[in-house]
Amino acid sequence: MKLKTKDLLTLAELTPKEFTGLIDYSIKLKKESKNGNKPLLKNKTLTMIFQKPSTRTRVSFEVGMFQLGGHAVNLSSNEMQLSRGESIEDTAKTLSRYTDCIMARVYDHVLLEKLSLFSTIPVINGLSDSFHPCQILADFMTIKEKKGKFNGLKISWIGDGNNVCNSMIYGCALANIKLSIATPKGFEPDKTALKESKKSIDVELTTDPLQAIKNADVVVTDTYTSIHNNDPKRIKKFLPKYQVNQALMNHAKNNAIFMHCLPAKRDHEVTSFVIDGPQSVVWDEAENRLHSQKALLASIIRA
Ligand code: CP
Ligand code: NVA
């Protein structure tokens, strides 16, 4: 499939049909990968820029390009001329002459918007302080695999209303899934994402985890401290009320699944018992980063 958008920075660039189409395409590529994927990106190169650490994003994008017959160049931003003051504009124009796509993990989301403006090739957000769209592609692929559908499901987000939560809001709006978010006061997700998604779906915002998790099919959390927001004092605002433990999970549906983008801080936002227990699908979720990003790359990189 081919996407209309040049870039993927938030998920808001996609239509519901494109989003669900990408999820189905990811599942198809996963099945095909057992015998080796077709070289859909032969002679194509991805530039990967990292301002922040990464395990899953770094490896899954590089392996994904390799499995589709392409190549990935990995750059830490501090080894680029960007770190010596070269402009985003000149960087974007230069990379557009060598490679076919840029995936960047950045602090300020505006940097991605600038890369997108000045590059002639697609730009993919590999996480910014504000959004993590690639994580949500993998999450919804996992939900489709486990539940077989999106219609009628309820997702419960417990904890910090962070970058992953902001993208989850867009994902739910695109897949028409009900979302209930429980955060402490002052840790709510992005207001614009909430306002835009409320036009199409039912998003509930509460400070009560019991209310948010009631009847949930999918329970999701993330660390209380993100790379850009790592003051340990934050933890006191979340514990013990916003921890996903078995007592809380028991208020979700019996067949509810537990998801976490990883890396996790066991016994902070989730107990070891839950993340390592039978309801947890975190390893499939991590694996699906690879398959869903292959679908994205094959759909966004121009022939
Ligand atoms: N979930 C995720 O993006 O993991 P990394 O930070 O390891 O890339
Ligand atoms: N919210 C986390 C996600 C890491 C994948 C962070 O930004 O650090």
Say which ligand is closest to the CA of 126: 1
Q: Are residues 116 and 248 in the same domain?
A: no
Q: Are residues 179 and 74 in the same domain?
A: no
Measured CA to CA, the distance from residue 164 to residue 19 in angstroms comes to 17
Residue 289 has pLDDT above 90, yes or no: yes
Q: What is the pLDDT of residues 32-75, one digit of tens each?
A: 999 999 999 999 999 999 999 999 999 999 999 999 999 999 99
Q: Are residues 115 and 49 in the same domain?
A: yes
Q: How confident is the model at residue 201 (pLDDT cuts 50, 70, 90)?
A: confident
Compute CA distances 243 → 169, 238, 272, whole Å: 20, 7, 11
Q: In this structure, what CATH number is given to the domain that contains residue 242? A: 3.40.50.1370
234 Cα–ligand 1 center, Å: 21
Contact 222 CB / ligand 2 (< 6 Å)? yes
Compute CA distances 169 → 67, 180, 204, 207, whole Å: 31, 10, 11, 17
267 Cα–ligand 1 center, Å: 19
**What's the structural domain count of the chain?**
2
pLDDT at residue number 265 = 98
Both structure tokens of 199: 């036009």
Contact assessment for residue 196 and residue 12, using Cβ atoms and an 8 Å cutoff? yes
Q: Are residues 219 and 122 in the same domain?
A: no
**Rounded to two decimals, what is the model's pTM?**
0.98
Residue to probe by mutation, ligand 2, list 54, 109, 127, 131, most atoms within 8 Å of CB: 127
**Residue 296 belongs to a domain:** yes
**Residue 220 belongs to a domain:** yes
Measured CA to CA, the distance from residue 93 to residue 90 in angstroms comes to 5
Q: Where are the beta strands (DSSP E) in the chain?
A: 45-50, 71-76, 101-105, 123-125, 154-158, 178-182, 203-206, 218-221, 257-260
Q: What is the pLDDT of residues 5-42, one digit of tens each?
A: 999 999 999 999 999 999 999 999 999 999 999 999 99
Q: How confident is the model at residue 200 (pLDDT cuts 50, 70, 90)?
A: confident
Please state the atom number of ligand 2 nearest to the C-alpha of residue 262: 5
Give me the chain's average pLDDT, please: 97
**Residue 1 belongs to a domain:** no
Within 10 A of 295 (CB to CB), how many other CB atoms are there? 25
List the catalytic residues: 105, 132, 135, 222, 261, 289
Q: Are residues 270 and 146 in the same domain?
A: yes
Q: Are residues 108 and 228 in the same domain?
A: no
pLDDT at residue number 202 = 85
Q: Which domain holds residue 163?
A: 135-285
Residue to probe by mutation, ligand 2, list 128, 227, 262, 285, most atoms within 8 Å of CB: 227
The residue whose CA is least distant from atom 1 of ligand 1 is: 261
Q: How confident is the model at residue 199 (pLDDT cuts 50, 70, 90)?
A: confident
Q: Are residues 208 and 149 in the same domain?
A: yes
Compute CA distances 222 → 39, 98, 209, whole Å: 35, 36, 14
